[in-house]
Structure 1
Amino acid sequence: MKDLHTFAWYAARISPHLPKNVFKPVPSRLWGGLAYLLITVAGFITIGAFELSPFIYLGIAIVLGTSFAAMGFLGHEILHGTVVRTAWLRDLLGAIAFWPLTTGPKLWRKWHNLTHHVHTQHEENDPDAWPTFEKLAKSRFLRWVYKLPHSFRALASFVSLTVQFTLHSSRMFTLYIKEFNPKKRPTVWIEAILPWVTWIGLLFWFGPVKWFFAFLLPLLIANFIVMMYISTNHRLNPITEINDPLANSLTVTVPKWVDVLHFNFSYHTEHHLFPGMSSKYYPLVKEQIKRMWPERYHEMPLTQALKALWKTPRLYYNTAELIDPHRGNVYASLGHGLDPKEIKTIRKEVLPSKREIVKENSLIRDNKEGV
């Protein structure tokens, strides 16, 4: 895919073919959120009030974890302004929805809406983009990680999905807190602290065993569900200088009932084209994309995307390729030859030393600065 276009370029061509009402907020989505909130409260009351078998607690924890994740999906939609438009109500409802995932609405909108969506898959400006090979020389941790065999790294990566969202959210807080207006920083701090006050308070009320089933295990389950989607959103796609959603984003497919439970979160390319549109209408957007640019559109079953993630490394090489420095194996990315049904290396590279990488980066930087 050589010629790239911005998301606005695609949106301008799709919009005339969509009903006018798809650009209006859909408050009825809140009924689903209310159902998940009631399920969550009922789960807390059941665990807190009754002495039950650990297996029953485990079943409740699974239900709570799936509810936490679904509330996060709805919170994502709310904070894009597609459910309600009134700013204070949007942030309040978004805060409630994201409460189990301990992410404040102002941080989320700064990190996700204003940065990730604007700079998707830009190697420097997208806070969610994975590192390039050039960054390997600058990070002792990355160099250590990529000395490990790929199979071990893949296993560790999938296990870490249970904590990745929570850890990345904390990292985004430390990254962006100084960029907020000083007058707004106390609010951002309060939004970050209050959820943890709630959950730590629950620990003292329930005790460690019940707290494990009521919050910690559900949080791990919710992280895993959320990150199953997020990890497939862009990590098989290339790094792009132009924010082209058809090049740098992937839509995954799941059973219809899962889409209903998860508020159509699987439609990710569509979301990057129309982030201000309710995901309720993304199937209509998908129809238009596949009609106009079927050769550009990337979609695959979620299970297939996860298998592709397992088999490929997470380090970019020449923007459109992925590389495993442990053996020098190079893999294609989506749109550049990656076949998710038959993943294989396209070549081996003799990798430069750390000193050579640093020297090359210095020359590139000097050229960009006009030295």
Structure 2
Amino acid sequence: MTAEHPIPQAEYAKKLRPFLPAEAFQPDPSKLAILLINIAILIVGWAIATYLDRIPVYLCWLYLPLSVVMGNSVIVLLFSSHDLMHGSVVKNYFWQRSICLLGLSMLWMPPTLWQAVHNRVHHNKTNSLADPDRNYLYSQPNTWGKWIQNLFVPSLLVNPVWLIAGMATAWGIYAFRNLTAVLLFNQESVDYVPAAFTVRPKERAAIAGEFLLICAIHLSIWFYLQFDAIELLLGYFLPIGLGYSGIIFYVYTNHMICPMTEVNDPLANSVSIGVPKFFDLLHLNFSYHTEHHIFPALNSDYYPIVQELLRTHYPERFHYLSASEAWHLLRHTPRHYQDARTFTTWSGQISMPCPLQ
């Protein structure tokens, strides 16, 4: 029903906006503290990691809880930078880009590229043919990008070993394919991304400069950790892998089990998932994803109010699944679009209707 009678995002926003307080749309600079605290956690973690070469190897497992905490900080850095870039924390362009350069550095994502791929393209063309974040089409060429996504993403036929490997690395591949597509080609004919997009020459130069700074940050961390295998494994690679796994879980469940839409209808092309409140507190209510797509610049503290409004005004259209339900659907459906409302496998031998119609 939802896909057959789409409602544009602006229409939802216009109807629901009067029910929200004015302060929900005001920048909340206090949330900068969340981003800075998690940068500090990583710095402290790296400082402690430099002592790992001074203890017996069999005791290094004691560092693992800190690796987990650092992994969560990687998640929070993306989500807090995400809110910052949408203008819900500070409006000043200089501070947005400068702080997000630090926040997004662990994600290998230049802020100018994020502004283009996420704010400008993904939010305005969500799950359409032009969305670089969508599933690949069955009809698209079998490029390396499509092959890797088919190998890694949760689906009916994915190998569990590759799925686990993909959870820790898929975000890096996502950043790599978009970064190279823009810096090396910057053409809409690039075929190894789901949907290519272009940026202006000034933006392209900014992306290149920001990427070099990000490379310098990572190289500095490696130097600080003395290129020591144990220090790098526990203090750098493991936290990043855990962080990417948490991020990509949200990314997979946000849109990948939804149909494609020509009209940007967030209640058709997005899913909100139910997670323990502890994770909503840690991750800035990122599970409220449909709500975010209706009001991208809204203070995330107010997403629960928007969800209640959606349940009241659009109960039959709103897609809300528990995290386990969303993951189950991902693991029991193919991952390529045969058409806007049908999934199929790499070979095209198994097809299923999209479970969220």
- Please give the TM-score of this superposition, normalised by the length of structure 2: 0.87
> Which residue number in structure 1 is paired with residue 217 of structure 2?
198
Match of 1:106 among 106, 112, 115: 112
Deviation string, structure 1 residues 137-174 (Cα, Å, up to 9, x no partner): x3266589979994344652453121111111121112
Deviation string, structure 1 residues 263-321 (Cα, Å, up to 9, x no partner): 11101000110101121111111111110000000011112211221111101122112
> Which residue number in structure 2 is paired with residue 293 of structure 1?
314
Q: Percent identity?
A: 29
Measured at CA, do residues 229 and 17 of structure 1 come closer, stay the same or move farther in structure 2, by a change above 3 Å? same
Aligned counterparts of 2:200 and 2:92: Cα–Cα separation in 1: 21
> Which residue number in structure 2 is paired with residue 339 of structure 1?
none
Moved more, 313-322 or 254-263: 313-322
Aligned counterparts of 1:325 and 1:139: Cα–Cα separation in 2: 9
Aligned counterparts of 1:190 and 1:164: Cα–Cα separation in 2: 24
Match of 2:349 among 318, 322, 328: 328
Deviation string, structure 1 residues 315-367 (Cα, Å, up to 9, x no partner): 1122112123557332222432xxxxxxxxxxxxxxxxxxxxxxxxxxxxxxx
Q: Does 1:30 align with 2:51?
A: no
Letter in 2 for 1:167: I
Measured at CA, do residues 7 and 92 of structure 1 come closer, stay the same or move farther in structure 2, by a change above 3 Å? same
Q: Does 1:273 align with 2:276?
A: no
> Which residue number in structure 2 is paired with residue 347 of structure 1?
none
Q: Does 1:46 align with 2:40?
A: no
- Do the aligned residues in 2 keep the contact of 1:145 with 1:153 (CA within 8 Å)? no
Deviation string, structure 1 residues 84-116 (Cα, Å, up to 9, x no partner): 001001111222211211211111001100001
Letter in 2 for 1:28: S
**Mapping of residues 55-74 of structure 1, within 5 Å:** 55-74=61-80
Deviation at 1:196, TM superposition (A): 2.2
Deviation string, structure 1 residues 237-264 (Cα, Å, up to 9, x no partner): 0011111000000001111111010011
Q: Does 1:81 align with 2:87?
A: yes
- Do the aligned residues in 2 keep the contact of 1:66 with 1:222 (CA within 8 Å)? yes
Deviation at 1:57, TM superposition (A): 2.5
Aligned counterparts of 1:133 and 1:327: Cα–Cα separation in 2: 7
CA-based RMSD of the aligned residues comes to 2.3
Match of 1:220 among 241, 250, 256: 241
Larger relative contact order, structure 1 or 2 (CA cutoff 8 Å, min sep 6): 2
Aligned counterparts of 1:279 and 1:248: Cα–Cα separation in 2: 20
Unaligned residue ranges in structure 2 (runs of 5+) = 187-197
> Which residue number in structure 2 is paired with residue 139 of structure 1?
142
- Do the aligned residues in 2 keep the contact of 1:7 with 1:244 (CA within 8 Å)? yes
Aligned counterparts of 1:325 and 1:34: Cα–Cα separation in 2: 43
**Mapping of residues 138-217 of structure 1, within 5 Å:** 138-139=141-142, 150-153=156-159, 155-177=161-183, 178=186, 179-206=198-225, 207-217=228-238
Moved more, 255-264 or 179-188: 179-188
Q: How many aligned positions are there?
A: 333
Aligned counterparts of 2:220 and 2:20: Cα–Cα separation in 1: 48
Q: Does 1:14 align with 2:33?
A: no
> Which residue number in structure 2 is paired with residue 128 of structure 1?
133
Deviation at 1:74, TM superposition (A): 0.5
Letter in 1 for 2:85: L
Aligned counterparts of 1:325 and 1:163: Cα–Cα separation in 2: 21
- Please give the TM-score of this superposition, normalised by the length of structure 1: 0.84
Letter in 2 for 1:264: N
Aligned counterparts of 1:92 and 1:253: Cα–Cα separation in 2: 33
Aligned counterparts of 1:191 and 1:325: Cα–Cα separation in 2: 36
Aligned counterparts of 1:65 and 1:277: Cα–Cα separation in 2: 26
For the pair shown, which has the larger CA radius of gyration, 1 or 2?
Answer: 1
Aligned counterparts of 1:271 and 1:334: Cα–Cα separation in 2: 22
Letter in 2 for 1:202: I
- Do the aligned residues in 2 keep the contact of 1:154 with 1:310 (CA within 8 Å)? no
Structure 2 SS opposite 1:316 = strand
- Do the aligned residues in 2 keep the contact of 1:203 with 1:211 (CA within 8 Å)? yes
Aligned counterparts of 1:335 and 1:78: Cα–Cα separation in 2: 31
After superposing on structure 2, the runs of 4+ consecutive aligned residues of structure 1 that deviate more than 4 Å are 140-150
Deviation at 1:180, TM superposition (A): 3.7
- Do the aligned residues in 2 keep the contact of 1:132 with 1:319 (CA within 8 Å)? no
